[in-house]
């Protein structure tokens, strides 16, 4: 009877474990704050980015160019919940753009999220896994906030493509989030919440041409198909300080 080959489990890099612990800490705080009832006021016509020194333009400059950062007008259920900032990544045709939203946490949650290097809190993490296809009219009635540098835009496009291919240049690896492999990981819940930001726009957008060169809508993960650890866990978050089960 032949023996099975020895299986060696390599520990996750320290930076991944630290980043996951930081994200889980912010996630717990977010859950607690959501339990507190808050009175929602109508969104103002002019917004200011905290600590950025930039003021959103009162009127949109019209159809934007790629590389712009826009604040979406709060005229849908998703954009009324909180300010939604997006990076304009590409223009596959005359009537639509590929955009990605900025996340609400200060550290990237998964490999599809990128640290931008910006100090402004709403623009620290760009969620490329959540990129969507919107009509130009959506951006035309939004506010121009800032512009991306050439390198900033290229890094974003590289991570966007890596969500499809799984390949990423080594220089960008320290700026993304840790892998998502455990079925009980709360980042599944986070992605489910965040993926709804542009549904009102996506449902009204034309199909993306196959030759556009960028895959922008990624299939939703099915946590039930991920391998479970051998030992039982009642609650992933209750056992998360060590972050062992995340990898």
Q: Which residues contact 247 (CB under 8 A, 6 or more apart)?
A: 11, 12, 16, 17, 178, 179, 181, 182
Give per-residue pLDDT as tens, 18-61. Answer: 999 999 999 999 999 888 745 455 554 444 444 445 555 545 55
Give per-residue pLDDT as tens, 69-97. Answer: 999 888 766 777 788 999 999 998 888 89
Mean pLDDT value of segment 12-20: 88
Query: What span, in angstroms and rounded, lies between the C-alpha atoms of 87 and 116?
Result: 11
Residue 116 lies in a domain: yes
Residue 24 lies in a domain: no
Residue 17 lies in a domain: no
Residue 197 lies in a domain: yes
Residue 56 lies in a domain: yes
Give per-residue pLDDT as tens, 202-241. Answer: 544 444 443 333 334 455 555 555 544 444 444 545 444 3
* Average of per-residue pLDDT values in the chain: 76
Residue 217 lies in a domain: yes
**Which secondary-structure segment (H or E) carries 70?**
strand 68-71
Which structural domain range is residue 194 located in? 51-221+237-246
Tell me the percentage of the chain whose pLDDT exceeds 70.
64
Of residues 143 and 52, more confidence is placed in 143
Residue 16 lies in a domain: no
Query: What span, in angstroms and rounded, lies between the C-alpha atoms of 48 and 68?
Result: 16
- Which pTM was predicted? 0.74
Residue 6 lies in a domain: no
Total tally of structural domains belonging to the chain: 1
């Amino acid at each position: 009877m032949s023996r099975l080959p020895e299986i060696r489990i390599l520990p996750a890099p320290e930076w991944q474990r630290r980043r996951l612990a930081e994200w889980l800490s912010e996630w717990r705080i977010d859950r607690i704050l959501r339990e507190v009832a808050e009175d929602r006021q109508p969104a103002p016509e002019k917004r200011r980015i905290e600590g950025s020194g930039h003021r959103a333009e009162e009127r949109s400059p019209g159809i934007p160019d790629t590389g712009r950062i826009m604040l979406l007008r709060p005229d849908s259920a998703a954009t009324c919940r909180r300010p939604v900032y997006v990076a304009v990544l590409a223009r596959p045709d005359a009537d639509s753009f590929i955009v990605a939203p900025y996340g609400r946490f200060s550290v990237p949650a998964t490999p599809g999220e990128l640290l931008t290097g910006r100090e402004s809190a709403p623009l620290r993490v760009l969620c490329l896994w959540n990129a969507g296809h919107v009509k130009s009219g959506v951006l035309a009635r939004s506010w121009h906030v800032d512009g991306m540098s050439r390198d900033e835009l290229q890094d974003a496009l590289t991570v966007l493509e890596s969500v499809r291919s799984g390949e990423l240049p080594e220089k960008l690896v320290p700026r993304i989030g840790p892998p998502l492999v455990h079925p009980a990981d709360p980042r599944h819940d986070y992605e489910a919440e965040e993926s709804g930001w542009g549904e009102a726009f996506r449902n009204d957008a034309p199909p993306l041409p196959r030759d556009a060169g960028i895959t922008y809508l990624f299939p939703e993960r099915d946590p039930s198909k991920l391998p479970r650890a051998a030992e039982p866990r009642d609650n992933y978050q209750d056992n998360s300080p060590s972050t062992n089960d995340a990898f």
